[in-house]
Structure 1
Amino acid sequence: MNEIEARLRDSFGRQTMMQTLGAAMDRAAEGAVTISAPIAPHVLQQQGAAHAGLAFSLGDSAAGYAALSVLPAGAEVVTVEMKINLLAPAVGDRLVAEGRVLRPGRRIVVVASDVFAEGPKGRKHVATMLGTMVPVEG
């Protein structure tokens, strides 16, 4: 495990929200992070699909950790804005969020995330997100 991955996984391990959702960091590399979580009974909306809040939480965290991966050790990031487009109902066994850096910077980091539902019927793109992260002192 390299220094970037170790730093991201250490921070992720302290996120109680991600623990509550049963989320895991599947991939951590410079500029790109993948986070997944099961579509469990406690995260459904009234029609039986995963709640959009789950998609948003995973996408925001994947994008945020992608941003953190391009910053020096000791830095942290916070989301200052995040837009989500919901593309389809999130039905399946789990959601997978793939976050990436679009443009790194010292003052802002522009990020994007795509969220997919995976299950017996395959993989479906259910949300796309665009946002801005701001580096802060750790």
Structure 2
Amino acid sequence: MSTIGNRIKQCRLAAGLSVDELAEKLHKNRATVYRYENDDIKDLPITILEPLAQALNTSPAYLLGWNKSNDAYNKSAKEPALTDDELKLLSNYRKLNNTGKTVAQGSIEALTTQEQFCTKVKRDEAI
């Protein structure tokens, strides 16, 4: 199973970046980047996720393992960057244990089947 650290390293190598170059783009030191890649930092700060994805030309969803393919992240694509509310939800989700995550996923899926909670686009995507 690929970890976030593995995906960060794979993307860095695919982008042709050295650890030092990535660290410079993130305004971090090289040791921090190595810690990200080695999964030594268990709770990757949410504030670093979007800049990290941009620096690696990928999406936060790919880094987190939500998207299985690493299509180059296109800022003009239909899927916008994560909003502050989405980042907050993600941060809270990451605090849950596996049982809590399963419950949260089920709750969100249940909400997407109820018209009063969905925009037309979101409802159509859930079907």
Normalised by the length of structure 2, the TM-score is: 0.30
Q: Considering fraction of residues, name the structure with more strand.
A: 1
Larger Rg: 1 or 2?
A: 2
The one of the two structures with greater contact order (alpha-carbon pairs below 8 A, sep at least 6) is 1
More helix by share: 2
